[in-house]
Structure 1
Amino acid sequence: MQLPQHATRPRWWTELPLIALIYGAYSAGRLIVRGDEARAVEHGLSILRLEKTLHLNAEHPLNRLFTHTPAVGIPADFLYASLHYLITPAILIWLFRRRPAQYRAARGWLMTSTMLGLIGFTFLPTCPPRLLPAVHGFTDTMAQYGSYGWWGGEASAPRGLGGMTNQFAAMPSLHVGWALWCGVMLWRFGGGKIARVAAVAYPLTITFVVMGTANHYLLDAVAGVAVMGVGLLLSKPLLRLAARVRARFTAAPSATGAPIVSPGCQTSQGEPFPGQRTSSDTPAEAVDVTASKAR
């Protein structure tokens, strides 16, 4: 995954409002498009049936492990409820400070993919495994171990704020998508074995966590990876378009036809500045200029 470099260093006072705007639109969009519950449940069951047909049903054994083993389930709930909102911003800040040439492309890829995920939530509201009827065999570990953390029984939202989150935003899994983005950034720019181990371990851990906590299906995770791939392809032309727009509004005065010297100044051919001759001036011309000044 080759990310283009940019010569201009980004400025925090332009980046911060942009990121806040995109994340605000994403969060508001999730609330607006909550979707019909019956439709979301049917989509969830359809995914589950497809996985069973393809022998891909990894959610049930993982969920049983997390449910019956608190030493695994409780840390997994903490990871699900926190890392998504800590690691991604931390890597964005790290890129901004240490890799400014690659930051803008990396940020554009993340934002484009996030908006694509919102489109998925809009047109394919999906009930996560934990909200399916109990007959389907899933346990909501976030609710089971809720007394150990700050979250309530509704997703990873703090207690009392569950109504402010879209419970049916399961397809695609942006937990997995954002974790993949973090892994790519660590692999490409982290340097050293520890960074590369983390680059592989973090996305894989998040994938197991979202399934074991019954927040996502395996195909949600696959869709999250696919969304990041499409986002990478679309982000490049979008960044080029943004660069052209930015160049148009920040063009140098000389590019718009404005004079670069004050009125009344004249230059002869070959003079970059008024009164400055080039090395091509002949000795005779230099003598004429000196005599003229003496008079």
Structure 2
Amino acid sequence: MGDTTVSSLEGRQATPRPAAEDRTGNTLLRRMRTPRRPRLWFEVLLIAVSYWTYSLIRNAVPEQRHEALRNADWIWRTEHHLGAAVEESVNHAVNQVGWLIIGMNYYYATLHFVVTLSVLVWLYRCHPGRYAAARLVLFATTVVALVGYYFFPLAPPRLMTGGTFVDTVMVHQTWGSMASGDLKHMSNQYAAMPSMHIGWALWCGLTVFALARAPWARILGILYPVATLVVIVATANHFWLDAVGGLLCLAFGFLVARLWYGALPYALPQWVPGTRGTPVLPVKT
């Protein structure tokens, strides 16, 4: 009996602690990866600080003018080789319609921020269980874009040397671009690849299309990134290949959210404890 008691005690002493430590670590990881109710003050602060940091880093990237112009020539030659160098034709055609191009200048300057913030607010109020994951997609997309700005400086079409592109902001005296006119010194003019106008617009459009119930809202979700593509090309602020770069950045953002939460944002529960609906189940590790 004595031997049995000793071996039993030794067995109890040998196993519990590692198991307890594993449980603690797994529990903490599950809590971090489980959607929870967002806090308004934290989200406002996080978005403000994040965008300020992004702008600071983006504008701190050296404006490598010669390399940016050389890259623009390479992009332009590549598009010609593909038989899809349409930017100049679109730019000239739309510039002939005054009210249209002026509207596009203001579209470029405002909706990029207004629509993105509006979708974030809508997610916060109506889809709190999906908000953090969707926000992570947007943040990861924006952060990886900084890599492109640093390693591939690119001049927009309107700044190409020897080109015939029209800088629509300068010609029509609007404030449709932070990189034109009196505001050009406040923004890095050679951070065109990838296009975050497209990255953010696609994020907004996919989010609205996936989660909105009204058919008209879902249609607008599809049309918004399409309209944004037309605008960035017509105003000579981007090549269409910059839009492809924005799409790839967004794909990276969705991959990060999928790996962290174990599901795409739109597949997560709509509500979290503290709002309404059933409690959220922990994300599987």
Tell me the TM-score range normalised by the shorter chain: 0.7 to 0.9
Q: Which has the higher contact order (CA 8 A, sep 6+)?
A: 2
Answer 1 or 2: which has greater helix percent. 2
State the identity as a percent. Answer: 36
SS at match of 1:9: coil
Shift of 1:6: 4.7
SS at match of 1:25: helix
Size of the aligned set, in residue pairs, is 230
Which one of 237, 243, 253 corresponds to residue 231 of structure 1?
Answer: 253
Distance 1:87 1:181 in 2: 10
What is the match of residue 255 of structure 1?
none
Q: Give the structure with higher Rg (CA).
A: 1
Gaps of 5+ in 2: 1-32, 263-285
What is the match of residue 137 of structure 2?
109
Cα deviations by residue, 1:72-100 (Å, 9 ceiling, x for unpaired): 21111111111001100111011001110
What is the match of residue 90 of structure 2?
62
Alignment of 1:52-201 (within 5 A): 52-133=80-161, 135-146=162-173, 149-151=174-176, 155-156=177-178, 160-201=182-223
- Given that 1:6 and 1:102 are in contact with CA atoms closer than 8 Å, whether structure 2 keeps it comes out as no
What is the TM-score when the length of structure 1 is the normalising length?
A: 0.74
- Given that 1:56 and 1:218 are in contact with CA atoms closer than 8 Å, whether structure 2 keeps it comes out as no
SS at match of 1:57: coil
Shift of 1:11: 0.5
Query: 2:110 corresponds to which letter in structure 1?
Result: S
Does 1:203 find its partner at 2:231? no
Cα deviations by residue, 1:199-219 (Å, 9 ceiling, x for unpaired): 111000000100010000010
What is the TM-score when the length of structure 2 is the normalising length?
A: 0.77
Cα deviations by residue, 1:37-63 (Å, 9 ceiling, x for unpaired): 000000111000000000111201110
CA distance change for structure 1 residues 169 and 238 in 2, over 3 Å: closer, same or farther? farther
Gaps of 5+ in 1: 241-295
Which one of 66, 69, 73 corresponds to residue 45 of structure 1?
Answer: 73
Query: 1:217 corresponds to which letter in structure 2?
Result: F
Cα deviations by residue, 1:163-188 (Å, 9 ceiling, x for unpaired): 11010110000001100000011101
Shift of 1:222: 1.0
What is the match of residue 242 of structure 2?
220
Q: Runs of 4+ in structure 1 displaced over 2 angstroms? A: 155-162, 235-240
